[in-house]
Structure 1
Amino acid sequence: MICCLNPHCTQPNHATLSPDCPTCGTPLEHRLRGRYRPLKLIGRGGFGRTYFALDADRLNSRCVIKQFAPQTQGTKSFLKAVQLFEQEAVRLHELGEHPQIPTLLAYFEQNKYLYLVQQMIQGRTLHQELAAQTTYSEGSIRQLLEDLLPVLQFIHDHGVIHRDITPSNVIRRKVDQKPVLIDFGVAKQFSEAIRYEPGTRIGTEGYAPIEQLRSGQAYPSSDLYSLGATCLHLLTGCKPEDLYSPREGRWLWQEHLENQGRTIHAGLAEVLNFMTRDLVSERYQTAQDVIEDLNRLPKLEGSVPGWVSNQSGQSLFAGLSQPPLSGPGKKAGMAMPTTSLPTMPDSPPSAQPDTDLSTGRATSGTQPGRKSKGVSGQSSAERLGGYPSSPPSSGSTKTSGGALSGAKSLGAEPAQGWQLLRTLPHQSWVTAVAFSAQQPVLVSGNLNDTLCIWNWQSGDLLHSLKGHARGVNDVAIDRQGQLLASCGDDATIKIWQLGNGTLWHTLKGHFRDVTAIALSHSDNLLASASEDGTLKLWNLKKGTLLKTLPSLAGMLKTVAFANSDQRLISGGLDNTVRIWDIQAATTLNVLTGHTNTVNQVAVSTDGQLVASASKDRTVRLWDLATGNLLHTLQGHTQEVNTVAFFPDDRQLVSGSSDGTLRLWNSQDGTLQETLPAHVNPIHQVAVQSMGAVIASASADKTIKLWQWLG
């Protein structure tokens, strides 16, 4: 079998031993340069053809022959084509030492045609892969980036820009499944000052950035743009030009994914978005920058089964007794034993910028890629509110009706009431806190991406859990004290076995920060709220997403279960509290009255009341059944970030950016006590199951534990 090398032959492939082509009569070249035997035409273009061949001098190893035979000669385009063809040979010679770039075997002229011979890569192009299968998964895209970015760094270090990275110019090598970058025909040396005629397009429409298409200029970031656009095509199945809105001046690829019922990790989405920015200055400047940001993301995880009971492993809680305390919020019939007051701890550390101990760099309010925070433009720290100008006063407290008779502030050594039990110091702002109902265990979440597990009776830190790539926003513990759930700015929810700190599952589905989570009363369901404006319901035992409740409220801040897990309560940036029917995935009622963001909602134990804490400095109490506003609790001087009911539902506690805890009577809305708890904002409060201890988490990098002494 031999192939005709006449670039104008209409049927060049033959199984013939004759000296001439039976189609066009051109003498057949059985061997180019005495060694390369062309067997089959495999590609053609405006500047020539590509053939599959065997190299007789290398044991008939397979190779590819590129023939330069443009249709027109003598024009500027022809001269430019000659330059590009010669340039490809030079580039392959310089770069062929890399295992993911084809090796140049020869470059010569024969019979007035130019030929380039290079190593043949057996496999399929990414374009062929996409045509033969479904769209790429998140894991496949990330693996492709991790495989190709070092190749780009290599060619850029050698002063070369590829300028035409597309799915057709990357081949998946069959032998090891590694992507190989091909077709350096339009590659450009950094030092070259090639100027193209007006209207000349260098690169492929949709994949080439605007600087290439307009003027032919290209930079390392231009290749990164093309690789990013390639990933968007593979991820969505849509060509890049169909994923970009010129009217809005932005990419719509995430909306396309949503329409397909898919999302990807928020960190990876952010990387792709910064690779494909329009302005050169706003993109990543080097492939190494992208690699570093990918390395900051959580490692790729396989399928992990849903949570199961702890059957093995050393428990973190071995020897811990049941908490013996009860307090003013106890249920009827519960005893209230007296306890001695432990020694007061030292003063908490002052607030300082967070530092990554491994690098020594400040981390508060920063994130990968030296980028600003998402759509909202705020970091986690900024969203949590600023510091008050001065510590809260300990004077009398007033409600909307004036001075409250009997309301008291915490004195230096009160004989009874709420007393500081101890302070638990942290390395960063404390954003979340939850008690276990079964052991004297407290879990906290921090902006340094860590979960801390404490014995709150002794103040000992039992364990630290690392898993979130970015700050933790909320934590929840199941009623059996075995399961811990956490969520964070990395757009994931993580399920841990609390007894030994094992990570059992990572739930992915939100494409922006997960702001809040709630466990159902049956502990079989988990609800999550996100900045992406959706509520999601998950089956914990299977680790699967059951349904998504799209909200019209915009960014959501809080979620809670109610009515025996038949209802969800949410709140967010639209200043409303929404009541959802879980089965129908519809809104049943919208409670209006707040004049600013609803930061947190809480549902009473009997399911009759909903409390909502707001940026408008109030807490509002609602009748869940009717949606009627019962009381507006006023007194905080800055936004109220958190609220929680006591076990008997007769009291609730709120925490504010003014640094105070305020305890309220839930029956009539009156203020009962004010605790000047922290000098910085309080982000979350939790009440121990017997009602005897309150935990307050703050931006002053501490949790304060408050004990009732009756």
Structure 2
Amino acid sequence: MICCLNPHCTQPNHATLSAACPTCGNPLERRLRGRYRPLKLIGRGGFGRTYFALDADRLNTRCVIKQFAPQTQGTKSFLKAVQLFEQEAVRLHELGEHPQIPTLLAYFEQNKYLYLVQQMIQGRTLYQEIAAQAAYSEGSLRQLLEDLLPVLHFIHQHGVIHRDITPSNIIRRKIDQKPVLIDFGVAKQFSEAIRYEPGTRIGTEGYAPIEQLRSGQAYPASDLYSLGATCLHLLTGCKPEDLYSPQEGRWLWQEHLQKQGRTIHPGLAVVLNCMTKDLVSERYQTAQDVLDDLQRLPKLEGAVPGWVSHQSDQSLFAGLDRPPISGPGQSAGLVMPTTALPSMAEPPSDASGPKSGPVSSRVSGQTSGKPASGPPKPVSNGPRPRPPTRPPISGVGWQSLATLKGHQSWVTALAFSTQQPVLVSGSLDDSVRIWNWQTGDLLHTLKGHARGVNAVAIDRRGQLLVSCGDDATVKVWHLSDGSLRHTLKGHLRDVNAIALGSGGNLVASASEDGTLKLWNLSQGTLLKTLPGSAGMLKTVALAEADQRIVSGGLDNTVRIWDAQSATTLRVLTGHTNTVNQVAVSPDGRLIASASKDRTVRLWNLAAGTLLHTLQGHTQEVNTVAFFPDGQRLVSGSSDGTLRFWSSQDGALKTTLSAHINPVHQVAVQEGGNVLATASADKTIKLWQWQG
């Protein structure tokens, strides 16, 4: 099958091997730029056509080709169209690093037409969703906002306004159900002073705000208006033009809901109304403002898998001392309690959203959630039961306890709490999840990172959770209620690792920008930056009462730093490839380093000498951890196995086939008899020693 690229052809789709189009007689272009094979026309407009194609250089990967072929040339409209098309290519190139924005693959001219090739997003647009099914529930709408607002925050941070957010320009990606923002053809930078000639419509009627339709001016608040109008369409099933009364000058969407016998939380109604104010000055000004107010609303239990309802005076850990899940067929992380939706009573005063316009000021990167008012509820000190996902295999050794499912991408980070039966995980799906590892229940999902999460850590008091990610930030959360306390900014690239100090108030972070940074945990302030001299850093640990910092990265070395003077004390050489992770033994004497060279090396921290090289993994070693007794350590590899070693002589004790896919992280619970492993298979597995 081949498609005719003549923009005037009335029937371009053909199942033919001929050299010319049977409809218009134009030669058929079998491969654009020698690699892109156009198969089917899938869209058309005033400026050109869109085709489904295969990329021969990428194993026939599916892609989308946009052809620029306006009907008029040489006019101001034509020149503006050229500018918009070229602008879309530039924007996609700049923004395509975000996982919810299509990646630009190519931009070129051929046969006097311009072509733009981009990643094909498989799925349905939200317009197709609403046409095929009932209107969105409140829970579905809130989830959509929580998924899309970080994308808007990202593009606005890059100085770009989308200008045409509609249900047709949002695709729900089939593979992970994430909404993807498409069609940046009318996007513009803040700094550009573009004025469109009269009659040129930018945006879509009903979704575009008045300032955009009248004068072509647009702001971040304009995108928020369009997203709000999109939400009203999805919530009611009615198009925006049918929800607004020009005579009264107000929205009637709540009346439409009442006619359907439906209501939503008053706080969410305030948020939607604030997004869709006529005056720019009365709207939210940033996507983060909207997200902050959404996160202050009570969570809807049962609306989204894994969400639990909690009021401002409730601890997240209430009920941790209840018995574990039991009964046939109930596996941890899969079966959640069935509960009714919370009542629609008036929300507490701090969760009601803006009263007469957008929030005027906020602490940057900080939500308004109530901090923990004391330590979490203690749990019994008696024997801790395990989730009976299946009977343990008889015999001595590491046996499977449970498999926790819920993350939508690779799980890359794990940390046990020393105070509660809590396990925290981080994933490339941009989320942090908090689990009760005894019962397998998902307690909370934290969504604050704009990109993948690389590491998590919990302070010794069990009160604060720290995470870092590819969005170049470190975030500090209250573990008890999941509220965000600080967002630490300063790194220029992905933050790959964090370490908490023994004193409880120090955080070290390691970044792809080659620097180490030390932060005050309680205040959220930067204390010191250690200059990068070793290239991209992958891992960091603290030792000797936080006076020493241990790091590793792409230069194949382990470095020991003096925290006070910010100088390198020793450079430990021996690895022949990237150092992925370092760990310091509980007594502070040993360093273990896991490397892409398939080995783990044990070093004397004080002397900087190599003690043992641990060999056996058949692929790169991604993670290593000491047991609490310091006599043993465990490593995890891309070969899917865990290997257990003696730290005294480096001897291999046993091997456990943990995952089919790579093991990215291993964590040891304080008692030393429970392990957690995180994998590229999107799961977390719990293991218990039987013997």
TM-score computed with the length of structure 1 as normaliser:
0.48
Instruction: Determine which structure has more spread, i.e. the larger CA radius of gyration.
Output: 1
TM-score computed with the length of structure 2 as normaliser:
0.50
